[in-house]
Amino acid sequence: MVLTKTAEDISSMRIRGAGRIARTAAAALQEHGASLDSETLAAFTHEMEEAADLLCGTRPTAVSLPNAVRYVMQGVQKAATLEEAQHALHDRATAFIHDSLAAVEKIAEIAARQIPNDAVIMTHCNSEAAIACIIRAHEQGKVREVYATEVRPRNQGYITIQMLSDAGIPVNFIVDSAARMFMPKVDLVITGTDAVTANGAVVNKIGTAQIALCAHEARKPFIVAAETYKFAPRTILGERIPIEWRPPEEVIGSEKQLPPTVTVKNPAFDVTPPAYVDLIVTEIGAFAPSYAPVVIRDHLGWDIIEFQKDYAFTHHYGE
Ligand code: RI2
Residue 192 Cβ inside 6 Å of ligand 1? The answer reads yes
Our answer to whether residue 9 is catalytic in this structure is no
pLDDT at 311 over 50: no
Nearest CA to 59 out of 73, 69, 74 is that of 69
214: pLDDT strictly greater than 70: yes
Mean pLDDT value across the chain: 93
Q: Of the residues 125, 154, 241, which should be mutated to test ligand 1's pocket, given the most ligand atoms within 8 Å of the CB?
A: 125
- The class level of CATH for 2-105+303-317 reads mainly alpha
Q: Quick check: CB of 205 below 6 Å from ligand 1?
A: yes
Catalytic residue among 9, 91, 118, 125: 125
Q: How many A from CA of 219 to the centre of ligand 1?
A: 25
Query: Quick one: pLDDT band at residue 236, thresholds 50, 70, 90?
Result: confident
Q: Is 125 a catalytic residue?
A: yes
pTM: 0.93
Nearest C-alpha neighbor of 167 from the set 188, 186, 145: 145
The pLDDT score that the predictor gives to residue 112 is 98
Distance (Å) from CA 306 to ligand 1 centroid: 26
Given pLDDT bands bounded at 50, 70 and 90, which one contains residue 303?
low
Q: Confidence class of residue 314 from pLDDT cuts 50, 70 and 90?
A: very low
Nearest CA to ligand 1 atom 2: 17
* SS3 of residue 202 by DSSP: strand
Catalytic residue among 56, 133, 194, 214: 194
The verdict on domain 106-299 having CATH code 1.20.1260.10 is: no
299 pLDDT tier (thresholds 50, 70, 90): confident
Domain ranges of the chain: 2-105+303-317, 106-299
Q: Whats the size of the chain, residue-wise?
A: 319
* Closest C-alpha among 21, 102, 109, 1 to residue 65: 21
Within the chain, where are the H helices? 2-11, 18-35, 41-56, 64-77, 82-114, 128-139, 157-166, 179-182, 208-217, 249-252, 292-295, 303-307
Burial bucket for residue 238 (CB in 10 Å: 0-12, 13-18, 19+): exposed
Backbone angles phi, psi at 51, to 5 degrees: -65, -40
Ligand 1: nearest atom to the Cα of 19: 14
Q: Which residues contact 238 (CB under 8 A, 6 or more apart)?
A: none
Please give the residue that has the higher pLDDT: either 303 or 13.
Answer: 13
User: Residue 319's pLDDT band (boundaries 50, 70, 90)?
Assistant: very low
